[in-house]
Amino acid sequence: MSRRTLTAIHKWLGLTLGLLIALQALTGTVLQFRDDLVRLASSAPPAAEVSALVDRAPPGSHVKRIDFDHGGRPALVHVQAPHGLEFHVPVPGAASGEVALAESGTAMLMHWVFRVHHDLLFGTVGRWVNGLLAGALLITTIIGVVLWWPGRGRLAKGLKVKWTAPPVRRWFDVHKITGLGFSVLLLATAATGVGLAYVQEMRAAMVPPIPAVAVAGRVAGDALPVDRLVSKAGAEAPGLNRRDIRFLGATGLPYRFLFHAGDAASTAPPVQIVMDPFSGAVLWRSDTADRPAVATVLDWLYPIHTQFAVGPLGRWLSAVMGVALVVLAVAGFLLWLARRRIRKKPSVRI
């Protein structure tokens, strides 16, 4: 493929999709600090048993999920209300030692930021469109590196930015150096973004399903106490910290437990344990040796996409890369604009 063709593909992919890619970069950057923003906007959650939080769900609602902070305390409660999903934070109750739930506007805002990043507010179709956006970013990043390559003897020249040059050259250099500097992260983020956009379909096609909990003919009163189930799940993951608990429909029964290692964002996929809330038996766990290799690959898509895989520094790398993506989009547009303005001035060279 000729250099002229590669340049045209790189340019038009950036011009037509740059705004959406920049939107994804900005929302992804905000989401790196979602939990911190939610905790910052709420009072410090008291120590509370999970059963107390389940019991505090508003009338006609039920708890869907409880997220824990790095200290192991309940940090955010997802509540399914009749009118839709609500987010609550634990706060001190009226009486000493009690716990109450308060709606969190910050958490709701973060939910909508997540929805924009995950599926552009269009559900499955939006998620698939995101996959195409990630694919376009992958292609244009590869082409950008190919177009930049100056040859072995000219590497130093290829890394220069001429700040005093005319706008065309200046924006070209900014676009070039920003893209090159973040090319590895961009490639990893774009490739895993494609995978995450279609991960549900790939899991359904290639990974055995997680066993369902049989609830037919059973009532919630037959289940083990909530806090006993939580304790039993913790005993199955010694040395690990609780990340979140998922609940079985409207029963108020926990059944899926996620754990991670360390006090900060985990560098590996969480360990997941599914339990029968009626017997306390472990039905499935994600860290067994007999899981298909493809399941492990799919599990790693999220830690790599968010850069959590490199440790606590990862989210800062991801945030800086998000800003860099916006710079790339802006610099690319300004470069195109400047070139248009001088199209009839052949004496100007870049």
State pTM to two decimals.
0.86
Domain that holds residue 282: 42-103+208-291
Based on the domain organization, do 191 and 135 belong to the same domain?
yes
Tell whether 296 is covered by a domain: no
Based on the domain organization, do 177 and 284 belong to the same domain?
no
Based on the domain organization, do 260 and 216 belong to the same domain?
yes
Based on the domain organization, do 158 and 92 belong to the same domain?
no
Tell whether 85 is covered by a domain: yes
Based on the domain organization, do 142 and 166 belong to the same domain?
yes
- Which tens digit of pLDDT belongs to each residue from 160-217? 888 888 878 888 888 889 999 999 999 999 999 999 999 999 999 999 998 888 877 7
- Which tens digit of pLDDT belongs to each residue from 262-299? 654 556 788 999 999 999 999 999 988 888 999 999 99
Based on the domain organization, do 26 and 128 belong to the same domain?
yes
Based on the domain organization, do 150 and 196 belong to the same domain?
yes
Per-residue pLDDT of the chain (350 residues; tens, 9 = 90+): 899 999 999 999 999 999 999 999 999 999 998 888 887 766 666 667 899 889 888 889 999 999 987 667 777 899 999 989 999 988 887 776 788 888 889 999 999 999 999 999 999 999 999 999 999 999 999 999 999 988 877 777 778 888 888 878 888 888 889 999 999 999 999 999 999 999 999 999 999 998 888 877 787 778 899 999 999 999 999 988 888 999 998 888 899 999 987 654 556 788 999 999 999 999 999 988 888 999 999 999 999 999 888 887 888 999 999 999 999 999 899 888 888 887 766 555 55
Q: Are 34 and 78 in contact (CB under 8 A)?
A: no
Tell me how crowded residue 346 is: count the other CB atoms within 10 A of its CB.
7
Closest by CA to 179, choosing from 1, 5, 18, is 18
Tell whether 238 is covered by a domain: yes
Contacts of 186 (CB under 8 A, 6+ apart): 137, 141, 179, 321, 325
Based on the domain organization, do 145 and 278 belong to the same domain?
no
Based on the domain organization, do 181 and 233 belong to the same domain?
no
Based on the domain organization, do 59 and 179 belong to the same domain?
no
What is the token pair recorded at 65? 């999920």
Tell whether 349 is covered by a domain: no
Based on the domain organization, do 139 and 250 belong to the same domain?
no
Tell whether 303 is covered by a domain: no
Based on the domain organization, do 138 and 84 belong to the same domain?
no
* Number of compact structural domains in the chain: 2
Burial class (CB in 10 A: 0-12, 13-18, 19+), 264: middle
